[in-house]
Amino acid sequence: MEIETNQDWLRALRAAGLEQEEALKDLRQRFLHTFRTYLGKSQGDRRALSSEEARQLAEDCAQEALLKIQEKLGSFRGESQFTTWATTLAIRILLQELRRRRWKDLSLRHSHIGDHPPDWPIEDPKSQDPEKALQQDEVWQIVKRIIQEDLTARQRYVLVANVFQGMPLDLIADRLGTNRDNVYKVLHDARKKLKRCLTKRGITQEEILHIFEITR
């Protein structure tokens, strides 16, 4: 039987026996399809995972998502399609795991996490035009100084770890013994301070992007 409405889904998932089994099977197929599509299109993850690892990851995350959905069923308020709500939870689980794995590789490149901003922020070398290269260096030195001198130690840690080193917000929250919302607030405060300090020095977004030859 086709499960169509939110009420159908809730009834089926709360039912015992075959009806619940069918609903879980349907959800599992949807999640696996979503995960395979995502993993197939994400070039970075495709390079990092063998096809067997990707298959196993999709299976594990689908299973975890089904457990989570059953656990959180009572919190579904019926304001969206049930399948959209369930898929949101499933995708969050997959991406959280992917970010954790990406970070495991990235973290090896950094001897100190959240310590100080890089000497040079982008992968590309400085401009070949000596005058522009000097301007780039001057602007970056100002940004670096603000990060090092005006941000609090916590703001600096979150900004550097997340933005420059690629540590996921959830893992920063775990490390700091807090939650993701609090980490986001710290990052938000760091951005506000950077904006205030740069504006005070008369530096605009357009100017920085122009100096770094970022036009789009």
Partner 1 sequence: MNRGKFRQLIRSIFAVKDQEMLCSEFFDILPRFVDRQVAGEEADKLFPGVSHHLQQCPECNEVYEALLKAVQSNKETPKK
What are the residues binding partner 1 (CB under 8 A)?
2, 30, 34, 37-38, 79-81, 83-85, 87-88, 91-92, 94-95, 99, 118, 121-124, 163-164, 168-169, 180-181, 184-185, 188, 191-192, 194-195, 198, 204-205, 208-209, 212, 214, 216
Residue whose CB is less far from partner 1, 2 or 52: 2
- Taking the C-alpha atoms of residue 27 and residue 41, their distance in angstroms, rounded to an integer, is 21
Q: Which residues contact 100 (CB under 8 A, 6 or more apart)?
A: 168, 171
Residue whose CB is less far from partner 1, 91 or 133: 91
Q: How far is the CB of 90 from partner 1 (least distance, A)?
A: 9
**Considering only CA atoms, which of 22, 100, 25, 14 is closest in space to residue 66?**
25
- C-alpha distances in angstroms, 183 versus 79, 161, 165, 211? 28, 11, 15, 31
- Taking the C-alpha atoms of residue 166 and residue 48, their distance in angstroms, rounded to an integer, is 16
Q: How far is the CB of 33 from partner 1 (least distance, A)?
A: 8
Residue whose CB is less far from partner 1, 16 or 196: 196
Q: How far is the CB of 16 from partner 1 (least distance, A)?
A: 26
Residue whose CB is less far from partner 1, 114 or 168: 168
Q: How far is the CB of 214 from partner 1 (least distance, A)?
A: 5
Q: How far is the CB of 18 from partner 1 (least distance, A)?
A: 19
How many CA atoms lie less than 13 Å away from 145 in the CB half-sphere? Answer: 9
**Considering only CA atoms, which of 161, 52, 173 is closest in space to residue 113?**
161
